[in-house]
Amino acid sequence: MIDFSLTDEQKALQELARDFAQNEIAPVAPELDRTGAYPYDLLNQAHKLGLLNLTIEDAYGGGGLGWLEACIVGEELAAACAGVTTAANANELALTPLHLAASEEQKEKFIAPIARDGGLAAFCVTEPGAGSDVVAMRTRAVKSGDEYVLNGTKHFITNGAVAHLLTVFAVTDPEKKHRGMSLFAVPADTPGITRTHMGEKMGHRASDTAEIVFQDARVPAANLIGKEGDGFKVAMETFDRTRIGIGAAGVGVARAALEASLKFVKERQQFGQPVANFQGLQFMLADMSIKIETARLAIYYAAWLTDHKLPYAYASAIAKAYGSDVAMEVTTDAVQLHGGYGYMADYKVEKYMRDAKLLQIYEGTNQIQRVIIARALLKD
Ligand SMILES: Cc1cc2nc3c(=O)[nH]c(=O)nc-3n(C[C@H](O)[C@H](O)[C@H](O)COP(=O)(O)OP(=O)(O)OC[C@H]3O[C@@H](n4cnc5c(N)ncnc54)[C@H](O)[C@@H]3O)c2cc1C
């Protein structure tokens, strides 16, 4: 009934992702972190290797795989660089609403140029006044003949300035609150769209974060995905899936921090011996490992539920919150284990600690995950 072994295909995918992550991403991760340069080349290579858009249907260029495979790959990429992983994951986040709700014709038109041809996409929900409270969004889409006219501002949008396609959530009927929100596929070069890089970030500096302003941006009515009013439901269903991947990225970052710490404590000598000899540090290492192993199980479980079409929202909230909390705790301990060296940019663990923080914030803060979990617990 329970089988914890990966299939041969899953093992091969894991090895492919690990080789790519360690040989191609890891060597340039410090440079990307320093410069904030967007990793176009790496994403191109990842696309050619089949490591992007894994859960999107293969008929449109995706991997045609499950969330378990996406999490296996996500952990490997994040163990090399969380910023590159965020840039890569943003595509899947943007394409998932189309995968869930678009017609076949729309999938061919909007998903294929991204997934098949290696384009970039961005998922646009958050606004200056609407973060956790998605329903507070003010971006309007008003029907005008056979077009919709979009006005409003989205911000904190990953891939926002570099994407070819934007999946945009906008209000079509303000009276209906969450039932008045709709989803549009919007080519990024649509007149009336201005995209601006936002300021410097604490971590994930290889990913692009942009503000997008829509000023009388007109899209064909045929770009409405699903029906008017479907937007909120599709956005929530998307998050329920993609946030498992944030937990997986957390495990990747935490694993890298533990590996760096194990190497360091065996080499660093104090009081005439390696600091690894001190039991106080050994217990910290053991706790780090306990957290990583249990987080991975929570993530695989949520992914398995999703792939088997079983109720997964509660498990995915746990996977996201726990995986990212573990990343924050383990990376903080990794810095502590390194002493003063851990605080210096020459040692990788300070980057891991900065990168871990965002995982607790985006795709629903960990407070919001706890709201979801508590709501499920308290439901009659
Ligand atoms: C680098 C980066 C990339 C991002 N990428 C994207 C993207 O690609 N697309 C996109 O649409 N968005 C993106 N986001 C936005 C991200 O999802 C939001 O920042 C996040 O959902 C939180 O919203 P907020 O920042 O407005 O914080 P707020 O919602 O203002 O939260 C402030 C604080 O209040 C807490 N809080 C809020 N409501 C509750 C509640 N009901 N109960 C308890 N606590 C609560 C929060 O947990 C937080 O601690 C990104 C953000 C960042 C920083």
Element (H, E) at 317: helix 313-337
* Per-residue pLDDT tens digits for 204-232: 999 999 999 999 999 999 999 999 999 99
Bridge partner residues of 187 (DSSP): 165
Q: Which residues form the pocket of ligand 1, taking CB atoms under 6 Å from any ligand atom? A: 90, 123-126, 131-132, 156-158, 201, 204, 209, 358, 361-365, 367-368, 371
CA 87–ligand 1 middle distance (angstroms):
18
Compute the distance between CA of residue 265 and CA of residue 274 in angstroms, rounded to an integer: 6
Going by CA atoms, what residue is nearest to atom 16 of ligand 1? 362
Which one of 84, 89, 120, 126 would you pick to mutate in the ligand 1 pocket, going by the greatest count of ligand atoms within 8 A of its CB? 126
- Given a cut of 80, whether residue 1 has pLDDT beyond it is no
Cα 96 to chain center, whole Å?
A: 12
| Residue nearest atom 30 of ligand 1, based on CA coordinates | 131
For domain 8-115, which CATH number applies: 3.20.20.120, 1.10.730.10, 1.10.540.10, 1.20.1090.10? 1.10.540.10
Question: Given the CA of residue 90, which atom of ligand 1 is nearest to it?
Answer: 8
50-78: b (≥16 Cβ within 10 Å) or e: bbbbbbbbeebbbbebbbbbbbbbbbbbb
Which superfamily does CATH assign the domain made up of 233-378 to?
Butyryl-CoA Dehydrogenase, subunit A, domain 3 (1.20.140.10)
Span from the CA of 281 to the centroid of ligand 1 (angstroms): 35
Which pLDDT belongs to residue 2? 78
pLDDT per position as a tens digit, 231-266: 999 999 999 999 999 999 999 999 999 999 999 999
Nearest CA to ligand 1 atom 52: 156
Which of 38, 132, 239, 373 most suits a substitution to test ligand 1, by most atoms within 8 Å of the C-beta?
132
**Residue from 92, 127, 211, 363 carrying the catalytic annotation:** 363
Largest Cα span, the chain: 80
pLDDT on residue 201 = 97
* Residue 122, amino acid: A
Check pLDDT > 90 for residue 317. yes
Q: How far is Cα 284 from Cα 336, in angstroms, rounded to an integer?
A: 10
3 has pLDDT over 90: no
The residue nearest atom 24 of ligand 1, judged by CA position, is: 131
Class of domain 121-229: mainly beta
Q: Determine the atom of ligand 1 nearest the C-alpha atom of 86.
A: 3
What is d(CA 321, CA 373) in angstroms, rounded to the nearest whole number? 10
Burial 355-366, CB ≥16 within 10 A → b, else e: bbbbbbebbbbb
Domain spans of the chain, in order of start: 8-115, 121-229, 233-378
The helix/strand/coil state of 193 is strand
Res. 144: pLDDT tops 90:
yes
Q: Which amino acid residue places its CA nearest to atom 31 of ligand 1?
A: 132
Atom in ligand 1 nearest the alpha carbon of residue 367:
47
Q: Each residue of 151-179: pLDDT tens digit?
A: 999 999 999 999 999 999 999 999 999 99
DSSP 6: P
Q: Determine what percent of the chain is predicted with pLDDT higher than 90.
A: 98
Per residue in 326-371, pLDDT tens? 999 999 999 999 999 999 999 999 999 999 999 999 999 999 999 9
Is residue 15 part of the annotated active site? The answer reads no
Of 212, 362, 371, 373, the residue with max ligand 1 atoms within 8 A of its CB, to mutate for a pocket test, comes to: 362
